[in-house]
Structures are given as structure tokens and as C-alpha cells.
Structure 1
Amino acid sequence: MLLDHPAARRLHVLLLLCLAVLLSGCWSSTPASSGSPGAAGSAVDALQRLPVASRVATGYRRAAFGDGWLDLDGDGCSTRQEVLRRDLTGVRLSGLCTVDSGRLADPYTGRVVVFQRGPRTSADVQVDHVVALADAWRTGAAGWSAARRERFANDPLELLAVDGEVNQDKGDGDAAQWLPPLPSARCAYVARQVAVKTAYGLAVRPSERSAMLRVLGTCPGQRLPSARSSAVR
């Protein structure tokens, strides 16, 4: 028989392997990775792909996400200072990193906040975790390593400099519990939440998903922000 020849047997095996690879590609139910959050298309499409949490974790502690603002990229500047430098205009620095003053166009209210570093004034501008850390814990982060939680809490995609009072009003709320006071800011805000949850494999709660769909229903063409557009210097 032809298959008794060594070269023919090798060819037969190779053909079977190729067929197996092709069939596995057809049968796989796992979607291909987009490579980056911003490549996933519209925010509403990405939201539809997020898992819905039937149960949520309890026992949230802020300390589980690290001890305050870190310097994960090793450039000598804390994440807070890097985000302030990214989001404020007219920035004046003290030394290499510390933002002494600047102006913030608050993304949640549209107001301009004048920032001046000091014991009584630094809190006028705060850095918001767009997906609240408590929400992240409830929808997946409870199962992460400590290092992954620290990276999440210091990821520029997850962070925005905002009006301090508004950030306090938000607290730990998800989209079902809190949205920016400025209606025109809500689509970008929810899209960023979806981008963060997509990037980290977090789920959404049913009420949160419904609230997000209502917002994105007003802006079906809203795109996800990319990690590149959110990068700090």
C-alpha cells in the first residue's frame, strides 16, 4: 500500500493534523481577542459581551487594592501626580512630579476647578476610579491576586481627575446608583466603565447593565476609549 512508504505516512499525518486545526477553529466558542479595549467596537456592543453576575462577592476592603497611590512604572512619580498632570491644563510642577497648580475641566459637571496644592485645597481635585473599587471587587476582583488589584487601582484607563465634591457624591456606586450630573458626560463615562470591565474581565450586575444600556441607547455610536488615549506621561 502507498501508506507503507515512510514519506506517504508522514504526509498522511500532516494532513490529519491540519484538518484537526481547521475543525477546532470552527467549533471554538471563545471569541478572538481584540488586542486592546479600544479595538472592540462600539461601547454598546462591548457591553453586550460582558458577563452578568448572578452573585457578587462581599468583604470589600480598600486595602486589598494596595496602599494608596503607587509608582508602578518606576519613574519616581505616583499615579495621582501622573493623572493630575495628564488631565489638568496650565500645570505647574514642584520638582519632577508634584503638581502644584492647574485648572481642571471637570468631566462630570463641565465646571472649571482651579487646583492649588495644599492641606486644605488638594482635595478640591480628586482622582476617581471610574469603576469603583468596591464594584470591581463585587464583580470579579475579589478573586484576583494582590498584584493584579494594585495594577487595576493604578491603571490610567480606570482613572480620571474630577471635582472632589462630585467624587464624594459618587462613592462606591455603579452606573445604576450614580451617573455624572452633566447629561452629556454620561455616554463617555459609561463607555469608559465598559472599557475597563472589558480589559479586566469584570462582570456587570443586572441593574448596572440595564442602566448602562439606557445611557448607551442615547449614543449607539459611542466608541470605547483606548488605553493609548488614556496613557500618562
Structure 2
Amino acid sequence: MRNCVIAAFAVATAVFAAPAPDVTSRALPSVIAASTARTRLAGLTVATPSNSPAYDRDLFKTWDTISGTCDTRETVLKRDGTGVTVSSACTPTAGSWTSAYDGLVTTNASSFDIDHLVPLKEAWISGARSWTNASREAFANDLTRPQLLAVSAHENRSKGDSDVTEYLPPLASFQCTYVRAWVQVKDFYGLTIDSAEKTKLTSILSGC
């Protein structure tokens, strides 16, 4: 019996400790190459972040209707999952999702959040405070850039509004993709970076 228990534990450990599937190409729209990211990083404006006026999440409207009854969140869940089926209201009824940040796998879509890779507050203090409400809405629902990703709720909430100096995905294999996407989004939207952020991005990209 003891040998059976040990064997069962070993199998269970292998299942949960196995490397997470590579979800990069499936989950995110095309992410720029590291060489391109380094070039674009050099062109970003370095400035001190400003939270004046104070950030208000309600100024970034989510979630928009994308197609039929599917809103942005549901569209990302369909894109990022495997074998996803939905109800007439576009609520996922089956499927499997792998969190690119921490490798967590689930069949319960409600346990995953849709992360804004460049957080809304980070965008605000980096320039979005001067945008129109329509521009902020477009940013918050952007399915074209690598800005939205279905990840475990725990990891999304651990990240919060942190920038790359305070948070990187714990799954090391995704960190290069994460910073490349970060630069891509900031470059497209003309957002600034601070000096510590630039140092961190430069360091990580040099090893990608």
C-alpha cells in the first residue's frame, strides 16, 4: 500500500509540476521581436509618471460588445482557451485555459481574469490622463495589440497596477514575451516610461 501511495504521489506531482504548454502564439496577437522591441524602447519618451488628475478606473470603459452577444472579456476567453464552447449569451460552458503568467490550468473560466498587460493606471500616469474617453475605451478593449490576456485571477490580482519594475510573470519562459509586448503597447499608444522602467526593460530585453 505504501508503495502505491508513493507512486500515486509521484504521478500527481508530475502532472502538476510539468511545464505549462506554450500559449504565447495562441494567446496574444503578434508580439514584436526582441530586436524590434529594443529599437522601439530606445525611442520611447522617458518622463516622470503623473497621477494628476487622480486615476479613475471608470474613465476606461470595459467591456465592449465585440460580436453578437460576445463582449471583450468573452472574446478573449474564446481566443485564449482550448476547446471552448459558449452559450447563446457567449458565456463559456466548456474549455481549458492555461495562464501564461504562472502556468495554472483550469476548466473554470470564471477563475480567470482578463489582464491589461499595461495596466490601466499605468497607462493613465504615462499619458492616458490626457486622452479622450473614447481613446481610453479603445485602449481598455484592444484586441489588436498584445494588451489583453486571460490569466489566473490570483496572478492578475497579485500584479495589480504594477509596472515591470514591480512585477514580472513568475513563469520565466514568458517574461521575454511580456516585456516585448509591454514595449509594443507603450510605443503604439505613445505612452511614456520612467527611468527605472527603462533600465528594467533594457536589462530583460538584452537577454531575450
TM-score range, shorter chain: 0.7 to 0.9
Tell me, yes or no, if the aligned pair for 2:34 and 2:205 is still in contact at 8 Å: no
Tell me, yes or no, if the aligned pair for 2:128 and 2:191 is still in contact at 8 Å: yes
Tell me, yes or no, if the aligned pair for 1:37 and 1:199 is still in contact at 8 Å: no
Task: Note if 1:193 corresponds to 2:182.
Answer: yes
Higher mean C-alpha displacement, 89-98 vs 77-86? 89-98
* Equivalent-residue separation in structure 2 for 1:47 and 1:189 (angstroms): 14
Aligned residues: 176
* Equivalent-residue separation in structure 2 for 1:110 and 1:173 (angstroms): 20
Tell me, yes or no, if the aligned pair for 1:110 and 1:182 is still in contact at 8 Å: yes
Q: CA deviation at 1:98?
A: 2.2
Alpha-carbon spacing, 1:181–1:38, altered in 2? closer, same or farther (3 Å)? closer
Tell me, yes or no, if the aligned pair for 2:112 and 2:150 is still in contact at 8 Å: yes
- TM-score of the aligned structures, taking structure 1 as reference length: 0.70
Match of 1:28 in 2: none
Aligned match for 1:50, one of 25, 44, 55:
44
Match of 1:183 in 2: 172
| Deviation by residue 1:1-42 (Cα, 9 ceiling, x = unmatched) | xxxxxxxxxxxxxxxxxxxxxxxxxxxxxxxxxxx9859962
| Deviation by residue 1:163-206 (Cα, 9 ceiling, x = unmatched) | 11000000000001100001111100011111111111111111
Describe the SS at the equivalent of 2:107. strand
| Deviation by residue 1:36-57 (Cα, 9 ceiling, x = unmatched) | 9859962111111111113423
Match of 1:210 in 2: 199
Tell me, yes or no, if the aligned pair for 1:37 and 1:198 is still in contact at 8 Å: no
Aligned match for 1:103, one of 87, 96, 105:
96
* Equivalent-residue separation in structure 1 for 2:165 and 2:82 (angstroms): 32
Q: What runs of 5+ residues in structure 1 fail to find an aligned partner?
A: 1-35, 117-121, 220-233
- TM-score of the aligned structures, taking structure 2 as reference length: 0.78
Q: What runs of 5+ residues in structure 2 fail to find an aligned partner?
A: 1-29
Describe the SS at the equivalent of 2:83. strand
Match of 2:84 in 1: 91
Root-mean-square deviation (CA, aligned residues, Å) is 2.0
Describe the SS at the equivalent of 1:209. helix
Q: CA deviation at 1:89?
A: 0.6
Describe the SS at the equivalent of 2:122. helix
